[in-house]
Amino acid sequence: MIRYNGRKLIYLCMGVMGLIFLLVNHVTNDSREVDKAWQIEIDPITRMNISNVQAGGLDQRELYKKFFVFSSKCKMPKVNPFVEGFPELKPLKFKACTDEPSLVSVIYDLAKKHYMLHLNMEKSLKNFANYSAFGCTYFEIVPGAADIEAYLLLFFLCSVKAPEYFHQDWVVPSHFLGVIVECHEMANKSRVLQRDAFAFVQHPKNRNEANDALRGAQYPSVFLFGIDSMSRMNFRRSMPLTSKFVRQKGWFEMEGFNKVGDNTLPNLMAILTGRTPRQWQSLCDVRKPGCLDSLHFLWHHFHNVGYLTAYAEDLSSISTFNYLKMGFKRPPVDFYLRPFLMVIGQFLQTVEYFGFKYCVGRRHSFSYVFDYAKQLIERFVFEQPKPLFGLFWTSSFTHDDCRGGANLDGLFLSYMEQFKDYGLFEKSVVILLSDHGSRNGALAEHYTGFLEERQPMLHIYLPPWYRKLYPSVVEALNLNRNRLSSNYDLYLGLRNFIEQTHPRMDYFRNIKCDQCLSILKVLPFNRFCQRLQLFDLEFVEQKLINEENIYGQVKTYSLYSRTQ
């Protein structure tokens, strides 16, 4: 049934040239989410309807039912996302990306540490009975070149390489980042049975396995899962299943967590580099190639102490470091999914919802990112523990539509359950976070929009062994739940995970930030909202009446310049 012959060179190359054209156009013009200057004027100010006197009569538990944060210097009213007047957040009706069974699947041979492409013949006999003898080809996707250059590499590759046929349980070479496979009739090659794509987590070469095993047992792996534009309130409402999952033992919700920048880039940069836009902009211009490569990200710090590092984000065309920026010249981490996503986004059929690629080929674009995380967890948490720091970010459901979370909820929970089966929550620190809330649309226009926009969700999970070893961290997180915290505190908290295992480590460059403190340590009770300039002090002074009336006068002030 499977034979070796046939080339599809010209078709592929024309596609690639098309892409290059598209990409160039895309990069030069798209004004959807331009990074504005870092000073943004905000008008509506929030007022509270509970006076200090009234609040004094409430006990802590009652108080924190009404407030996320309540101190004399900072008060953040709690919004009940289940009261009337909130926009409906029911899941929209979508078809699954495909209901066909997979013709090709991937098998990992743990002993030999390689992947194989497996043809599911039984399925093919049933579902593709109409087709005569077929063959399957693969087209390789290799890492190396990052970001924009991946296109050029692909172009180069395709001018020298054509898809090749493969046989049952063909062994994937160890330098492949992924493959695109296509099965077609041998008698008529344009009758395609199925196209699909797979990314691989190849066993890292040149590592000291004994050291890795030792570190794997001692250092906590740190997994960050991000959902774009997801506020604390919207998360509770639109993702009830996942919300329930993160209320289990070991999870801490940071209710006083506030964003520090307008859109994704400044907020993620604060978490990953600890720097303000002014600080990283003073180092170089992110619109110039090579700039991002020269900055110190958390993954570099983790790498330096022996961690493997990973980063994957769906929607590769608008991803955080590439949208109107130059992206990375070199892959920033050991496991970098972007080149794979860029290629499949162009070669496979896509379906758009919420204004973005929702299905790419046979799967949600989101699934490629979380399947990649799953493979990493399988390989490095479950099978052969090695410490890993990874960031997995999804925007495709939620970036432009506050209802998207409802569609994502079940899928997301199912990944969490699978991760659980691989022992993720026995061993690793897991952080579920977002960059900001809805910045426009129904939720932002609601009278609680001021809070919606500024309060991204942040949930921190500590595994049992870690909680036992560091009771002070547990205590701190319990207190910090209702204290004002920011991205900079989270950055320092993530660094703490390194410092705990390397107490003498002193290579971090000191980033000036008087007001920042690790979120793993007890944060000051009386932080000024204003000092962090997350909320204006006057906001605090307002005498507020009740939850239903969190509203107020118009005032402008700048949010994002941190006191230095």
Ligand X SMILES: *[C@@H]1O[C@H](CO)[C@@H](O)[C@H](O)[C@H]1NC(C)=O
Give phi and psi for 21, each to the nearest 5.
-60, -50
Amino acid at residue number 448 = T
Q: Which residues of 514-552 are buried (b: 16+ CB within 10 A; e: fewer)?
A: ebbbbbbbbbebebbbbbbbbbbeebbebebeebeebbb
Question: Quick one: 29 or 206, whose CB is closer to ligand X?
Answer: 29
Min CB(492)–ligand X separation in Å: 39
Q: How many residues does the chain have?
A: 564
Question: Quick one: 192 or 217, whose CB is closer to ligand X?
Answer: 192
Question: Quick one: 189 or 531, whose CB is closer to ligand X?
Answer: 189
Residue 398 to residue 262: CA distance in whole angstroms? 16
Min CB(123)–ligand X separation in Å: 12
Min CB(560)–ligand X separation in Å: 25
Question: Quick one: 188 or 208, whose CB is closer to ligand X?
Answer: 188
Residue 398 to residue 237: CA distance in whole angstroms? 13
Min CB(503)–ligand X separation in Å: 52
Min CB(26)–ligand X separation in Å: 11
Nearest CA to 486 among 263, 274, 223, 277? 274
Other Cβ atoms closer than 10 A to 426: 12
Residue 293 to residue 303: CA distance in whole angstroms? 15
Min CB(190)–ligand X separation in Å: 5
Question: Quick one: 28 or 60, whose CB is closer to ligand X?
Answer: 28
Min CB(167)–ligand X separation in Å: 24
Question: Quick one: 118 or 191, whose CB is closer to ligand X?
Answer: 191
Question: Quick one: 188 or 563, whose CB is closer to ligand X?
Answer: 188
Question: Quick one: 29 or 282, whose CB is closer to ligand X?
Answer: 29
User: What tokens appear for 382 in the block?
Assistant: 């479950």
Min CB(16)–ligand X separation in Å: 23
How far are the Cα atoms of 48, 86, 87, 551 from residue 446, in angstroms, in the given order? 16, 7, 8, 11
Sign of the alpha-carbon torsion through 184, 340, 142, 329: positive
Chain positions contacting ligand X, by CB under 6 A? 28-29, 31, 129-130, 188, 190-191
Amino acid at residue number 264 = T
Strand partners, 26: none
Residue 522 to residue 292: CA distance in whole angstroms? 32
How far are the Cα atoms of 51, 169, 423, 516, 533 from residue 510, in angstroms, in the given order? 41, 52, 35, 12, 22
